[in-house]
Structure 1
Amino acid sequence: MPYEMGEYYKRANDYDLEYQGQSEQDVPFWKELVMRYTPCHVLELACGSGRIGMELLKGPGDFLLDGLDIEPEMLKAYLRKVSQESPEIQQRVKLLEGDMCDYQLPSKGDYDLIFLPFNSICHLYELEQQLETFRNTWEHLAPNGHFVVDTFLPDIDYLSDALNRPSNVYLEDEIEDPDDEFTMLLYTSRKFDPYEQLQHIVWTHEKFFHESGENERYLTKLDMHVFFPRELQMLFLATGFSIDAIYGSYDWKPFGRGTRQIVVGRKPNV
């Protein structure tokens, strides 16, 4: 079946605006993770427009950071941000266009930390895609390197409301443009397919421009695979990883005491 993904990520500026508040939640976690593991070479899969990566580069450490993404518009936005930074930061980051299922990078076997943040694993819809990504990541890691995956913990009540039928459209967010040019309302409807474990999401974006009084409306669609805990853990174990830790939130609570499942896998030193 065809899956919806790319359209949602083609408006990088609107994406950054919608998720500006997310950085307050998860960026401190990733900064702390880097401080704990002190990596030399890091790879961020599905790096997007650099929401997380740029903050890591500005934080402690002098590690090299590679970012991989399949969407050219996101990488262009990331590159624009990098170009505004100091030469020291620019020299530490490399951006690559590619699919996390089958990427082959020159630094294969050299990365001591690879991470896949903020639900991006949910774009791996087929079992073979999931296994290929985990196997490929295992091959790109150095011995004792870590692979960290962050996604939401499924909410059964939330999913049941959208079981096999679209949920009611509701206002998810009201966002003010930092330059005060417009206000954007974000409406959402979801449908959950329990057999494919897929959320079919439709967002309606409505912008109201303050000076002209005009408005713009557009739709974006996104499909997300819903990972249940044992399923995600099994992907790590089936592809050769040991599981060092599982956290339930960005403030390092143990699994089951939060709304996240953040799994830390390790490639054994063999």
Structure 2
Amino acid sequence: MLYELGEYYERVDDYDLEYQSQSELDVPFWRELVMRYTPQRVLELACGSGRIGLELLHSPGDFKLDGLDIEPAMLKAYQRKLQSEPIATQQRVTLHEANMVNYNLPHKGDYDLILLPFNSIAHLYEIEQQLDAFKNTYDHLMPGGRFVVDTFLPDIDYLSNALNRPSNVYLEDEIEDSNQEFTMLLYTSRKYDTFEQLQHIVWTHEKFFETGENERYLTRLDMHVFFPRELQLLFLAAGFRIEAIYGSYDWKPFGKGTRQIVVGRKAGLTLV
């Protein structure tokens, strides 16, 4: 099966604009997580253009941070943003263009914290891909290291609408450019495949410029829907012990929010 992924992430500036408000929700959680675990070497899978990683560098501690992504345009944007940081901060970061399914990094076995934030796990479509990614991540962690995955909790009503009314188009957001050069409207239509547990999403991006011009383009994106037991079994199948599950970015217990944030622990040494 052919999956849609790349084109959605190729327009990095638009992606950054669309998700700038997300940082207010999840970045405080990731910064607190790093402060609680005090890691020495962190790996962020599907790091994108550095929305989360760059903020983590401003947390207490001098941990090394690796970022991994499959999209070259995202990594170029990350590197460009990194140039604005002090030299000492830049030297803490290493970026890798690779697939989270089969990456093999120089510091394999040295990471004490690996992150997979904000629904990026939904781009692991096949069972084999999912298992390979989890087992590979397990191998990259040091004994006692943690793997933290954050994804949305399936909304049955939402999926039912995507199943029974797939042609409906919804206005998702209206965003003002920070330079006040344009307003962007985001529309989506979604179709849900119950057998593959896939959302097939078509995004319509429409920009209205102050000059009177407008631009309209479509992107497609497929996302696997992970149900809670399925996600937890992936951790267990890869050898992890599930240490905690949170339901929101404010550390509520699982079931008290719209997220499933799972912390898996590799067997071995006890870390602080």
TM range (shorter): over 0.9
Which amino acid is 1:141 matched to?
Answer: L
Q: In structure 1, what is the Cα distance between the partners aligned to 2:145 and 2:203?
A: 38
| Alpha-carbon shift at residue 170 of structure 1 (Å) | 1.2
- Equivalence map 1:1-270=2 (5 Å): 1-163=1-163, 166-210=166-210, 212-269=211-268
**SS state of the match for residue 125, structure 1?**
coil
Residue pair 2:244, 2:264 contacting (<8 A) in 1 also: yes
Q: In structure 2, what is the Cα distance between the partners aligned to 1:93 and 1:198?
A: 34
Which amino acid is 2:37 matched to?
Answer: Y
Residue pair 1:124, 1:225 contacting (<8 A) in 2 also: yes
**SS state of the match for residue 189, structure 1?**
strand
Cα offsets for 1:54-80 (capped at 9, x unmatched) = 000122111000000000000011001
Cα offsets for 1:83-117 (capped at 9, x unmatched) = 11110110000110000000000000000000100
Which amino acid is 1:226 matched to?
Answer: V
Residue pair 1:198, 1:224 contacting (<8 A) in 2 also: yes
| Alpha-carbon shift at residue 243 of structure 1 (Å) | 0.3
Structure 2: segments with no counterpart, 5+ residues: none
Cα offsets for 1:136-172 (capped at 9, x unmatched) = 0000000000000000000000000011652410111
Which amino acid is 2:191 matched to?
Answer: K
Q: In structure 1, what is the Cα distance between the partners aligned to 2:15 and 2:62?
A: 28
Residue pair 1:187, 1:203 contacting (<8 A) in 2 also: yes
Residue pair 2:35, 2:59 contacting (<8 A) in 1 also: no
Q: 1:139 to 1:75 in 2, by over 3 A?
A: same
Residue pair 1:202, 1:221 contacting (<8 A) in 2 also: yes
Aligned length: 269
Q: 1:136 to 1:164 in 2, by over 3 A?
A: farther
Q: In structure 2, what is the Cα distance between the partners aligned to 1:176 and 1:164?
A: 33
Query: Cα RMSD between the aligned structures?
Result: 0.8
Q: In structure 1, what is the Cα distance between the partners aligned to 2:190 and 2:95?
A: 33
Q: TM-score, normalising length from structure 2?
A: 0.98
**SS state of the match for residue 161, structure 1?**
helix
Which amino acid is 1:177 matched to?
Answer: D
Which amino acid is 2:68 matched to?
Answer: L
Q: In structure 2, what is the Cα distance between the partners aligned to 1:52 and 1:61?
A: 16
Residue pair 2:113, 2:146 contacting (<8 A) in 1 also: yes
Q: In structure 1, what is the Cα distance between the partners aligned to 2:93 and 2:233?
A: 32
Q: In structure 1, what is the Cα distance between the partners aligned to 2:104 and 2:221?
A: 27
Deviates further, 139-148 or 166-175: 166-175
Q: In structure 2, what is the Cα distance between the partners aligned to 1:26 and 1:131?
A: 26
Q: In structure 1, what is the Cα distance between the partners aligned to 2:167 and 2:68?
A: 33
Residue pair 1:161, 1:167 contacting (<8 A) in 2 also: no
Q: TM-score, normalising length from structure 1?
A: 0.98
